[in-house]
Amino acid sequence: MSTVEKVLVTGAGGFIAGHLISQIHQRWGTAHIVALDRKPTNLWSQLHPYCSIVIEDLTSQSNRQIVEDFDVVFHLAADAGGMPFISTNNYNCMKDIASTQLIIDSALAGTIGKIVFTSSACVYPESRQGDSPTPLQELSALPAEPDSGYGWAKLYCERMGNYAKFESGIKFRSARLFNVYGTMCSTGEPREKAPAAIARKILHSQHLGLNSTTLLGTGKEVRSFLHVSDCTEGLLRLAEDSSNISAINFASLDCITVNELAEMIALICNYKGTFQFNSRHTGVSTRIPCIKLAKKALNWSPSKPLNDGLNELVSYIRSTIRNT
Ligand SMILES: NC(=O)c1ccc[n+]([C@@H]2O[C@H](COP(=O)([O-])OP(=O)(O)OC[C@H]3O[C@@H](n4cnc5c(N)ncnc54)[C@H](O)[C@@H]3O)[C@@H](O)[C@H]2O)c1
């Protein structure tokens, strides 16, 4: 890849972007990084002294000039969260289409070199994630049947970007992320994801001496969890890659039930209590990723063992509780 001089990271105040920006700085040392988010910096997950900061809402079409003139745009800005959030904010999630259109229009005007768009496992059809699940290869996203407005919006944005790519030659890549976890993530309802929510609830029960903890879902949902360092490595490799990938999965292949995840976290916390499940916000039942394309095209596979990542997460959640 030719030298990257100027990079835009949208959603820069969020969980994944905070980690991504550090990795961009390490990897592409001299690149000027512009970090954009709509929320004020006191709410950002991380602040990096080497970035220029822009506070803007990308859903406003008048903002076109602020996304112009970049070699690479990592487009992470989205209304995102765990099941409690996306299952009750379908319309808000779908409004994110406007910000992706803004970025694509800038690329069409010739002012962006490449777009790396963070899509999601939620684009895959619900029927492939039920009682007879099949590994989710990239091509199996169609025919479309996502289970949420969030998934429909991601799929629509992928499609928009691909049409612009095929018809006008822009470089648009979609990274389909499967359950990313790690330190500096959202904590507290409704946006926190399962690993953080489970750790927080277990630590809370432990603090109060409760011998039972109530978690969302049925406990039987099957998922895999990708450490944020593996995710950001995938995003960088996708940006550096010169082939013509449209969409690519980044996921861990270690599939476990939510109950098993809770037991792993309980062991790390030394919590001896039991779990009750409140079956609100369950999501699809069994999500099995396929990462053959990432292995073949980018020589990427996850390297962080789940137990190591969960140990870091528990320490982080413990520190957020201590500081409140
Ligand atoms: N975390 C995961 O497990 C996961 C899984 C699949 C996909 N993704 C995708 O990865 C991206 C980052 O996820 P995250 O977990 O870091 O989410 P996050 O909520 O921590 O970060 C998203 C950031 O985008 C900002 N934002 C939202 N709308 C905006 C707008 N219109 N203009 C400017 N900023 C805006 C938010 O303020 C927030 O800081 C998102 O696109 C998400 O959909 C995440």
> Hey, whose CA ends up nearest to atom 9 of ligand 1?
118
pLDDT recorded at residue 282: 78
Q: What is the pLDDT of residues 56-106, one digit of tens each?
A: 999 886 777 888 999 999 999 999 998 889 999 999 999 999 999 999 999
**Residue 140: C-alpha distances to residues 68, 134, 144, 226 (Å):** 34, 9, 9, 21
Query: Ligand 1 center to residue 86 CA distance, Å?
Result: 12
Query: Ligand 1 center to residue 236 CA distance, Å?
Result: 17
Which of 120, 124, 189, 191 best tests ligand 1's pocket when mutated (most atoms within 8 Å of CB)? 120
184 located within any domain:
no
Q: Is 120 touching ligand 1 by the criterion CB < 6 Å?
A: yes
CATH code of the domain containing 95: 3.40.50.720
pLDDT recorded at residue 154: 98
87 located within any domain:
yes
Contact 321, 269 (CB under 8 A): no
Residues of the chain with pLDDT under 50: none
Q: What is the pLDDT of residues 140-169, one digit of tens each?
A: 999 999 999 999 999 999 999 999 999 999
Query: Ligand 1 center to residue 267 CA distance, Å?
Result: 30
- Do 36 and 159 sit in the same domain of this protein? yes
189 located within any domain:
no
Query: Ligand 1 center to residue 303 CA distance, Å?
Result: 23
Pick from 194, 199, 197: nearest CA to 180: 194
Q: Which atom of ligand 1 is nearest to the CA of 117?
A: 41
CATH code of the domain containing 213: 3.90.25.10
Contact 269, 203 (CB under 8 A): yes
- Do 69 and 21 sit in the same domain of this protein? yes
CB atoms within 10 A of CB 249: 26
What is the DSSP code (8-state) at residue 3? Answer: P
Give the chain's domain count.
Answer: 2
Query: Ligand 1 center to residue 228 CA distance, Å?
Result: 13
Q: Tell me the HSE value of 60 on the side-chain side, using a 13 A CA sphere.
A: 9
pLDDT recorded at residue 10: 98
- Do 174 and 139 sit in the same domain of this protein? yes
> Hey, whose CA ends up nearest to atom 2 of ligand 1?
180
- Do 108 and 20 sit in the same domain of this protein? yes
Q: Is 100 touching ligand 1 by the criterion CB < 6 Å?
A: no
pLDDT recorded at residue 42: 97
Where is 196: in which H helix or E strand? helix 194-208
Q: Taking CA 106 as the corner, what is the angle to CA 102 and CA 111, rounded to the nearest 5 degrees?
A: 155
1 located within any domain:
no
Full residue range of the structural domain in which residue 267 is found = 194-222+255-289+307-322
- Do 94 and 213 sit in the same domain of this protein? no
- Do 269 and 126 sit in the same domain of this protein? no
Query: Ligand 1 center to residue 243 CA distance, Å?
Result: 26
